Amino acid sequence: MSPATPSSALEMESDPSVIPPQLAQGVPMLKISSRKIKQVIFKIRNGCILWSSKKDSRVPINDIRDLRLGQPPTDTYNSTRWITVVYVREQQWKVLHMIALTDETYSMWVKALKELVSITLDRQVSDVTPSDPDMIWIRQLWPLGTRAINKAKAEALCAQIGLQINQKLGESSEETFDLAAFHKLIKASQTRPDIQRLFTSLSSEGPLDLDRVQTFLRDVQRFPVDTIPAIFEKYKTDEGVWNLEALTSFLSSADNTPNIPQDMTHPLQHYFISSSHNTYLVGDQWKGESTVEGYIRVLLAGCRCVEMDVQTGDFEPVVYHRKTLTSSVSVRDICRAIMAYGFVASPYPVIISAEIHCTYEQQTRLAQILKEVFGERLVTTPLAQGFTELPSPEQLKGKILFKAKPPKELKSPRIETFQLAAPPAESPSSTDSDSGFVRLARRLSIQGKAERPDTFSPQLAELLVYTQGVKYQGFSKLNEYLPSHQFSVSEKTAAKIIKEDKGAWVKHNMRHISRVYPKATRLDSGNYDPVDAWSAGCQLVALNWQTLDESTLLNHAMFHGSNGYILKPLALREKIDEQPERYHLTIEVISGQRIPLAPDLYVEATLNGTVARRTKSLSSVTLNPTWDDTLRFELTTKPSLLMLNFLHLEVKNKSLQAQWMRPVGLAPRGYHHLPLYDSLLSRFVFANLFVNIRVEKVQRVESRVQV
């Protein structure tokens, strides 16, 4: 459904079981920001969290995308009454931090927020159990202040969403319907004629016994044969066959996704690794706020490589974007956040990519902080001396790798070969209490003296075990890169390498790790197209996750449902003689379920961002639109590189966008209910698109195509 209207939120607020009178009137709480703690009055009114402030001081419930309850982002505020509300405003992520002053107030807020989000929001929010899917849109249709409706009104309301209930009304002895009775009527009236047609086709030659189900799952759904008997047993009836209900249940379940475990025993360089640039920012690169929230959000989303720009602080190193107005955040707080959230979404290694701009003394302090906070998780020694290849994600499970580039490159990953100078004097530092321009002036004064330290602390250098940053010097045989050597290049340099020497870079990335990051002129924290870098075999293709654009959508599509590591195509892992093939890609767009109510809906399919096809538009407004349209594409690629071709499906009209994107090589085959996401990559909890996807090889193309 579309986000709940203000009227539906207001209706919820009239119920004291949802919004206690104290919260409607306002209660004192602590509001936490990067600069100060302030006691303010918070309330819930008009479908919003409100507080008194000079700036825009409201968070609409419909804009909430995450709730973190009782989990302070740092140890600075060790409160079990902490509430973090993550929301969106104008395509930007925002964060509201609050601390309740009493346990009673905390419990009231938690209960109210969970219930409001559950009742009024159709997006997926962590820590919140969604309400019944039908209740969200029923509350939108239900006349405000009405306790019951008659049969004529019930029929009229259902007609607004294309649901015919004449038969069920005739069978019902009720003359009026309250909300619960109307809900029951709706449930009884919903059918799936599309699945009925599929069932009729599959069972045309006999009941769906094991043999026929196996043929369907193997040939259409592309399931491994050895997994099919268990699935059949789970859904079969007492008669030993699948009936319509069994087929419907299977197609709507998580079982309708083949579980093919990914091999995690290849060396690190054989994987695409989900990576973030300027992780500490939640806004633009000029004056955005630096916060640990950026790390928490990307780590919970499966990111495995985060970035720190380490600067000199008053007592300990801090992180902020150099020569800008961005605020700063403590390195220690960032490390604590990584320790707390780094292995929630994935057990595989986290890489910290650091730019070191702090003094010698604070480099040493940084090394101490890393060891203190991460303990045994921090990699400090190689698994094997004299290694000639990087270890695998499986071998580094639960570990944290630290990457940095010394001012002079080491001859080996160990500290003994590194020449160190005497420590220089400490530099003054900025504080968060400075005004923006005073802060900038002080930073420019400090940083103008030394763009990068001339010395490197031995305690920090010894942490560069498998991830030693080096300067890019081309691919000549005269330039020897050790297995631990990693270079980072901007998108501009990457584009130049791809244009002039892509084959050599592909070969280099079979043995080493490369990182690509956005160019410095992207002050709005925009992004580049990651596919070109992936096609060169680059593992760490770092994007500004705080900006939601086509590039972050591609990144989301690549790593969706993974552990943050995706095994690269064979053609990018080893030199093989792989011929390009021609493929037909067919998408049968069948129907949508619980799509946000909107007129003139159609489905548009785009391949690799350029070639588009679309279905017919539906003039009627319906909860479960049916298109029964087929969209076709043709593409030519090496078989292993199918995963670098992206299919984008959008259910849309002038105002709505509900979308799904996956690499063709990783997209499901056969009949599936595809989850849908909005423009901010928040998942619609109940809406999905029912499709049949086929990828068929046509013939071999004789001419060879370079990677």
Domain range annotation of the chain: 6-133, 146-189, 197-256, 268-572, 581-700
Tokens 């990067």 sit on residue = 34
What's the confidence (pLDDT) of residue 425? Answer: 39
What's the confidence (pLDDT) of residue 231? Answer: 96
Fold of 268-572: TIM Barrel (3.20.20)
What's the confidence (pLDDT) of residue 218? Answer: 96
Residues (pLDDT < 70) of the chain are 1-17, 34-35, 54, 56, 74-76, 91, 120-122, 127-133, 136-137, 140, 162, 166-173, 283-289, 322-326, 408-453, 699-707
Tell me how many degrees the CA angle 318-321-327 measures, rounded to the nearest 5. 65
338 close to 295: Cβ distance less than 8 angstroms? yes
What whole-number distance in Å separates Cα of residue 473 and Cα of residue 487? 9
What's the confidence (pLDDT) of residue 433? Answer: 36
**Alpha-carbon torsion angle 307, 308, 309, 311, nearest 10:** 180
A 10 A CB-CB count for 384 gives 10
What's the confidence (pLDDT) of residue 461? Answer: 95
| pLDDT per position as a tens digit, 88-130 | 877 677 889 999 999 999 999 999 998 888 776 667 777 666 6
Buried b (16+ CB within 10 A) or exposed e, 530-563: bbbbbbbbbbbbbbbbbbbeebbbbbbbbbbebb
Measuring CA to CA, which residue among 84, 42, 86, 48 is closest to residue 64? Answer: 86
**Sheet strands (E) in 463-598:** 468-470, 485-490, 513-517, 540-543, 565-567, 581-593
What's the confidence (pLDDT) of residue 1? Answer: 39
| pLDDT per position as a tens digit, 169-210 | 666 667 788 888 888 877 777 778 999 999 999 999 999 999
What class has domain 6-133?
mainly beta
H helix or E strand, kind and range, residue 95: strand 92-100
What whole-number distance in Å separates Cα of residue 199 and Cα of residue 220? 14
Measuring CA to CA, which residue among 246, 244, 237 is closest to residue 195? Answer: 244
What whole-number distance in Å separates Cα of residue 49 and Cα of residue 13? 12
Fold of 581-700: Immunoglobulin-like (2.60.40)
Looking at residue 457, its amino acid is S
- pTM for the model stands at 0.83
What's the confidence (pLDDT) of residue 170? Answer: 64
Tokens 């045994």 sit on residue = 376
Structure tokens at 541: 């293709």
| Strand, coil or helix: 285 | coil
516 close to 540: Cβ distance less than 8 angstroms? yes
What's the confidence (pLDDT) of residue 387? Answer: 92
Measuring CA to CA, which residue among 32, 64, 79 is closest to residue 51? Answer: 32
